[in-house]
Amino acid sequence: MATDNKNKVLNVPHLRFPEFSGEWEKCKVSDLLDFYSTNSLSWEQLEYDTNTMMNLHYGLIHVGLPTMVDLSKDKLPNIKEDNIPKNFELCKEGDVAFADASEDTNEVAKTIEFYNLAEKNVVCGLHTIHGRDNKHKTIVGFKGYAFSSTAFHNQIRRIAQGTKIYSISTKNFSECHIGLPSKPEQTKIATLLRLIDERIATQNKIIEDLKKLKSVISKSIFSLIEDGKSMLLGDVAHISNGCGDVQDADTIKREGWYPFFDRSEEQKWFPTYSIDKEAIIYAGEGQSFYPRYYKGKFALHQRCYAITDFSEILSPKYCYYFMGTLNSYFIRNAVGSTVPSLRIDMFQKVKLRIPSIKRQKDIVSMFDMLNMKCENETSIMVLFKEQKFHLLQQMFI
C-alpha cells in the first residue's frame, strides 16, 4: 500500500497503471463470495476423454492447471458414469476454486478461476472450496489473480491450520480480504497477467516439444543398444528415500542453505543437507515420473527417492538419461488410489542395458547438448514467471 503526504495509508497497490486513481475497496472474502458444496471423488472414480460431467480434483490445482482455466485448451477428468453425484452445483465462468489443504503453506488456498468453460459441465471435487461472486463486483478473470497475489497468501499463511498438513475452510475467509479496483482497472490488470500466462504457456510448449524430441531420440538409441550387460538397477546403484519436511524448506535462497527436492518443480532451499553425491532424483508421488539429476550437497523430501553410489561400470548420467525413458513403467506400477506413489522395489527391479563406458560417454555427450537447449528455453520461462510473481506482489492489496 502507498501513503500520501500526510502519511495516511491508502488502499492502493505499489504498482499501478497511470490512467487509474482513487482508492481500492477492501472487501472481506466471505462478503465477496458465496460458497457451494463439493464432492469427494478420488482419482479412481475419474477418467479422461469421455462425455460425462467434468470434475476438478485438488491435485490439478496444485499441479497441472493454469490460474485461468480455459476448457477449450485445458483438460479436466470426467466422472465415471456410476459415480455421478446426486447433488451438485455446476461451475459458472468466473467461479473460483481453492485447494483447501497442502503440506506447504505457500500452496494452501492455491486458486484457479474458470475463465472459459467451453459449454462443458464442471463440478468441484475432493479438497476444493468452490466460490462465486454473486454480487458481480468483479470481472471474469480478475479473482484468480487477486487470490494468487502475495497480499492474499500472506493472510492465508497466518491462519492456515495444521502441523504436517495445513488446511483452511470457508470459515477462514471471514478473516481475509482482497482489494477491488474499478472494473476497467480489473480488466487491465487481468489482461496483462493473462497475456503473461499465455506467453508462459507458449514457452512451456517449446520446452515440452524439445522434451518430446529428446524422448523419441532416447527410445530409439536405448532400444538399439545390443552390446553390454543387462543388469538390475538395484545391483549397480543404491536407492534411498529422503527425510526432509517441506515445512522446513523455503523458496528464498539463504546463505548456507542447500537445494531441496520435492515433488514440486519450484526450487526450494533447506538449512541442512542429507546427501552429498552424484544422484538421480525422483518424486515419489505424482501423475508422471521423470528423473532429475544433481551432483553435490542437497536435501530430499521424505517422499522422494535418490539413486546414488553407482557401480564403476555405470555412468550416473547414462543411467539418468536411460531412466528418462521409463515414465510408462513407473505409471504402470505405481500404487495408491488418490495420488499414484512409487516404492523402492520399483527402482530396484529396473532393467538396465549397460554398454561400454566409452559408448555411455558418447550417448551422454549428445543428450547433454539437447539438455543445454532445454535449459536455455527454461531460463527464458523462469524470467516470465519471475515477472508474473513481481506483478502479483506489487499490483494487489
d(C-alpha 72, C-alpha 66), whole Å: 13
- Regarding whether 331 and 258 lie in a shared domain, the answer is yes
- Regarding whether 304 and 239 lie in a shared domain, the answer is yes
Residue range 372-395: average pLDDT? 96
Q: What is the pLDDT of residues 328-383, one digit of tens each?
A: 999 999 998 778 999 999 999 999 999 999 999 999 999 999 989 999 999 999 99
- Regarding whether 173 and 62 lie in a shared domain, the answer is yes
Average pLDDT, the chain: 93
Residue 273's identity, in one-letter code, is Y
Q: Find out whether 324 and 366 touch, Cβ atoms under 8 Å.
A: no
β pairing state of 25-28 and 177-180:
antiparallel
Residue range 96-110: average pLDDT? 90
Residue range 122-150: average pLDDT? 97
Q: Which of 319, 335, 354 is the last residue of a domain?
A: 354
DSSP annotation of 170 reads G
2 pLDDT tier (thresholds 50, 70, 90)? low
Indicate whether 205 belongs to any domain. no
Indicate whether 186 belongs to any domain. no
- Regarding whether 303 and 172 lie in a shared domain, the answer is no
Q: Which of 337, 354, 371 is the last residue of a domain?
A: 354
pTM of the model: 0.69
Tell me: pLDDT of 7 over 80: no
Indicate whether 299 belongs to any domain. yes
Q: Which of 180, 206, 237 is the last residue of a domain?
A: 180
Beta bridge partners of residue 122, listed in sequence order: 54
The x, y and z cell numbers of residue 60, run together, are 490439478
- Regarding whether 175 and 236 lie in a shared domain, the answer is no
Q: What is the pLDDT of residue 336?
A: 84
Print the domain residue range for 139.
25-180
- Regarding whether 310 and 168 lie in a shared domain, the answer is no
Tell me: pLDDT of 319 over 90: yes
Indicate whether 8 belongs to any domain. no
Number of domains in the chain: 2
Q: What is the pLDDT of residue 4?
A: 56
105 pLDDT tier (thresholds 50, 70, 90)? confident
- Regarding whether 169 and 233 lie in a shared domain, the answer is no
Beta bridge partners of residue 377, listed in sequence order: none
Q: What is the pLDDT of residues 256-281, one digit of tens each?
A: 999 999 988 889 999 999 999 999 99
d(C-alpha 319, C-alpha 310), whole Å: 9
- Regarding whether 34 and 147 lie in a shared domain, the answer is yes
Q: What is the pLDDT of residues 156-212, one digit of tens each?
A: 998 887 767 889 999 999 999 999 999 999 999 999 999 999 999 999 999 999 989
- Winning range, highest mean pLDDT, from 61-65, 133-137, 249-253: 133-137
Residue range 15-44: average pLDDT? 96
Q: What is the pLDDT of residue 266?
A: 86
Indicate whether 343 belongs to any domain. yes
CATH of the domain at 256: 3.90.220.20
- Regarding whether 256 and 157 lie in a shared domain, the answer is no
Residue range 299-314: average pLDDT? 96
- Regarding whether 269 and 134 lie in a shared domain, the answer is no
Q: What is the pLDDT of residue 3?
A: 58
Q: Find out whether 68 and 141 touch, Cβ atoms under 8 Å.
A: yes
- Regarding whether 250 and 168 lie in a shared domain, the answer is no
Tell me: pLDDT of 106 over 90: no
Quote the Cα angle for 195-200-205, to 5°.
125
Indicate whether 154 belongs to any domain. yes
Q: Find out whether 140 and 79 touch, Cβ atoms under 8 Å.
A: no
With b meaning 16 or more CB within 10 Å and e meaning fewer, what string describes 171-191? ebbeebbbbbbeeebbebbbe
- Regarding whether 288 and 174 lie in a shared domain, the answer is no
d(C-alpha 80, C-alpha 57), whole Å: 14
Indicate whether 80 belongs to any domain. yes
d(C-alpha 271, C-alpha 256), whole Å: 7
Indicate whether 382 belongs to any domain. no
